[in-house]
């Protein structure tokens, strides 16, 4: 091999390594539309952010006998659209996986949720928002910026994606549940300079599903309600669920429900004796994991879904 050929091989190998390094650690299954959340870099994004990575190790506990993906170092947020293959009700849900604003449980509290929503005729839009150190608001505005931007984009594309722009809700788990509540109470003003027409549309969810939330009651202050999450009469109807033995504290659900009640917001609260934290939709033999059926009933109750 001559020197020119050798240099060419080295250059091609280096380019391949570079392309591999740029690939995200998680990608949706083929056949789903994925869009970058921001047309350029996200507001306040650091330069030279570390590569996205699955932080799961062999020592991590299994959930219902299966591992999960713990996606870290997300600096380029995306939306992925999961459309129903059968009946399409026109309703849509933007899903916020949890992970303590450190990682995203992208399958357990993301893609698996989209499969269920699609089975109910609901379009699922999975938000891969920025982590780590991007919340809770106001400690950092980044995750809430991503959530606000996501709702505007979904409304902008509603006709294209066969979505009713007046039936777009949010569903979050743990930190993602806090993010759903934060968006439900901080939708009237964008936390960033508008970048295009999507940012001129409302980012208020039409309903919210809050599953085993954190950060809604302050443990260091005796579980008082979080004053940065202040419902008003315009806060969307909400479904809230948590287990009494949740180590993140069931008061997060109870205090948020009472705040909604005092603001005269329609809300439904489900508290189970057992369940712990971080089970997603995976059945573990406990009644708490039947919550998706309860959500479907509630969505009919608030007229997001119509009786068949």
pTM of the model as a whole: 0.91
User: Among 150, 153, 143, which Cα is nearest to 175's?
Assistant: 143
| Model confidence pLDDT, tens digit, residues 121-177 | 999 999 999 999 999 999 999 999 999 999 999 999 999 999 999 999 999 999 999
Tell me the Cα Rg of the chain: 20
Residue with tokens 């509630």: 298
| Model confidence pLDDT, tens digit, residues 83-114 | 999 899 999 999 999 999 999 999 999 999 99
Q: Give the number of other Cβ atoms within 10 Å of residue 76's Cβ.
A: 17
Provide the pLDDT for residue 165. 98
Cβ atoms of 178 and 94 within 8 Å: the answer is no
Largest CA distance in the chain: 79
Considering the chain, what is the average pLDDT of its residues? 92
Look at 21 and 242; give whichever has higher pLDDT: 242
CB-neighbour burial class of residue 47 (10 A; exposed 0-12, middle 13-18, buried 19+) = exposed
What average pLDDT does range 43-67 have in this prediction?
Answer: 92
Q: Report angle CA 280, 96, 207 to the nearest 5 degrees.
A: 100
Q: Report the distance separating Cα 66 and Cα 282, nearest Å.
A: 9
Q: Report the distance separating Cα 38 and Cα 153, nearest Å.
A: 10
Length of the chain: 308
Provide the pLDDT for residue 46. 87
Q: Give the number of other Cβ atoms within 10 Å of residue 65's Cβ.
A: 7
Cβ atoms of 286 and 275 within 8 Å: the answer is yes
Cβ atoms of 250 and 242 within 8 Å: the answer is yes
Element (H, E) at 10: helix 3-22
Q: Which of 3.30.70.1140, 3.40.50.1820, 3.40.630.30, 3.40.50.880 is the CATH number of 45-301?
A: 3.40.50.1820
Cβ atoms of 173 and 239 within 8 Å: the answer is no
**3-class DSSP string for 138-181:** CCCCHHHHHHHHHHHHHHHCCCCCCCCCCCEEEEEECHHHHHHH
222 conformational bin, left if phi > 0, alpha if psi -120 to 50, beta if neither: left
Q: Give the number of other Cβ atoms within 10 Å of residue 51's Cβ.
A: 13
The structural domains of the chain, with segments of one domain joined by +, span 45-301
């Amino acid at each position: 091999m001559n020197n020119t050929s050798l240099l060419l091989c080295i250059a091609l190998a280096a380019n391949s390594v570079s392309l591999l390094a740029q690939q995200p650690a998680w990608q949706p299954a083929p056949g789903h539309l994925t869009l970058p959340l921001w047309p350029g870099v996200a507001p306040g994004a650091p330069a030279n952010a570390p590569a996205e990575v699955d932080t799961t190790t062999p020592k991590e506990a299994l959930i219902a006998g299966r591992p999960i993906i713990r996606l870290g170092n997300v600096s380029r947020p995306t939306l992925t659209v999961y459309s129903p293959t059968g009946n399409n009700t026109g309703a849509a849900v933007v899903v916020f996986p949890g992970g303590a604003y450190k990682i995203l449980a992208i399958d357990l509290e993301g893609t698996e949720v989209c499969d269920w929503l699609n089975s109910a005729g609901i379009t699922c839009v999975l938000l891969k928002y920025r982590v780590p150190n991007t919340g809770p608001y106001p400690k950092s505005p980044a995750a809430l910026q991503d959530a606000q931007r996501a709702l505007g984009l979904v409304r902008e594309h509603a006709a294209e994606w066969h979505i009713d722009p007046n039936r777009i809700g949010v569903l979050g788990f743990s930190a993602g549940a806090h993010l759903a509540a934060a968006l439900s109470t901080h939708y009237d003003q964008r936390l960033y300079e508008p970048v295009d027409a999507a940012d001129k549309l409302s980012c208020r969810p039409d309903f919210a599903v809050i599953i085993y939330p954190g950060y809604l009651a302050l443990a260091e202050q005796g579980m008082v309600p979080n004053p940065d999450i202040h419902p008003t009469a315009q806060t969307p109807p909400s479904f809230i669920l948590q287990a009494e033995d949740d180590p993140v504290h069931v008061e997060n659900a109870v205090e948020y429900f009472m705040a909604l009640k005092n603001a005269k917001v329609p809300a439904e609260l489900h508290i189970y004796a057992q369940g712990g934290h971080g089970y997603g939709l995976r059945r573990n033999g406990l009644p708490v994991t039947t919550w998706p059926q309860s959500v479907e009933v509630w969505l009919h109750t608030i007229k997001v879904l119509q009786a068949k």
